[in-house]
Structure 1
Amino acid sequence: MRILGIDPGLRRTGFGVIEAHGMRLSYVASGTIVVPAGEPLAQRLKVILDNLREVVASTRPDVSALEKVFVNTNPTSTLLLGQARGAALCALADSELLVHEYTALQIKKAVVGNGHAAKEQVQKMVQHLLALDGLPAADSADALACAICHAHAGPLAQRLQRAGGTAAHRSRLRGGRLV
């Protein structure tokens, strides 16, 4: 299964593509879409949309994983982040990719084992899990971590869904994981 992970942002949107063969993970590609700051909002969102469409076309993922927006203390920042996330969702929907969503807490817990891990810990663990020669850039590492989170959580959610699960399991399944 080839997974595209996305860490949305209005200034910088990270993307990372991995392949999961059972529990074995391998790196495919990653990068950061840098959005020009001086442009009108609509043009900035279009940069995210167009670049993610190109990423999907060139890497041909089977599924995607996207980080959920958290509620920030600054409502304007939260709204802008939500719009960047919306542009990413549109690119994925336009590419007919199934989208799975995970919170930053879920992603960090799946990759580092601690939902409150520092960015540096995530970068180092992504480097280790994917056997990368160097430390990935912060935005790319977050996107790769999102893909890794889905590689770990997705198969369980799919098995439960295929099996129909019990009513208790179905009611406790949220965002690809049991809660």
Structure 2
Amino acid sequence: MRIIGVDPGSVKTGVGIIDVQGNHLRHVHHAMIRTGKGDFDERLHILFSGLSEIISHFKPDSAAIEDVFVSKNVSSALKLGQARGALVAACGYHGLRVAPYSPTMVKQSVVGFGRADKDQVGHMIRMLLHPPEPCPEDAADALAVAICHAHHSPMQKIVGKI
């Protein structure tokens, strides 16, 4: 099974793709979709089209996305929610149902500690997947989302959530 993981952001979004065969995980691709800080509507379009292009090229079987982290800044949270919506829409456009995962669940699945920092997540991604080139933090987070889905999707299929 090929899984695409997404770490949403309104300025930069991480994307990670892995192949899963039994208990074996293999790095396929990681990337950043960078929108800059221009017109927000244009940034949403960049997110949608950028993820659509990656999905078209790599043809994943399944998609997972990190839930929106609610911060104290309501405006930032709303923008992040809209960015996440554009990314979910891109997945839906390509026929992929999206499994959401909380940041705590992603970190717990990859590091074993739900409050792990980005350095710990990045270290585990290097240890588990051996990517051919260094991963930016957001791309490592996206690969972690994909790994989390690989660990949880068999159980979710059993209980009928996917």
| TM class, shorter-length | over 0.9
Answer 1 or 2: higher relative contact order, Cα 8 Å, separation at least 6. 2
* SS of corresponding position for 2:95: coil
Counterpart amino acid of 1:60? K
What's the counterpart of residue 9 of structure 1? 9
Cα displacement string for residues 90-111 of structure 1 (whole angstroms, at most 9, x for unaligned residues) = 1011111011000000000000
Structure 1: runs of 5 or more not aligned:
162-174
Contact 1:52-1:88 within 8 A present in 2 as well: yes
Contact 2:12-2:36 within 8 A present in 1 as well: no
**After TM superposition, what 4+ stretches of structure 1 lie above 4 angstroms from structure 2?**
none
The two structures have a TM-score, normalised by structure 2, of 0.96
What's the counterpart of residue 139 of structure 1? 138
Query: How many residues end up aligned between the 2 structures?
Result: 162
What's the counterpart of residue 25 of structure 1? 25
What's the counterpart of residue 64 of structure 1? 63
1:125 shift after superposition = 0.2
Q: Cα RMSD over matched residues?
A: 1.3
Cα displacement string for residues 116-139 of structure 1 (whole angstroms, at most 9, x for unaligned residues) = 001000001011111235542101
What's the counterpart of residue 88 of structure 2? 89
Cα displacement string for residues 116-174 of structure 1 (whole angstroms, at most 9, x for unaligned residues) = 0010000010111112355421010000000000000111221343xxxxxxxxxxxxx
* SS of corresponding position for 1:117: coil
* SS of corresponding position for 2:147: helix
Larger radius of gyration: 1
What's the counterpart of residue 126 of structure 1? 125
Structure 2: runs of 5 or more not aligned:
none
Counterpart amino acid of 1:52? L
Quote the Cα distance in structure 1 between the aligned partners of 2:14 and 2:134.
Answer: 15
Quote the Cα distance in structure 1 between the aligned partners of 2:131 and 2:86.
Answer: 29
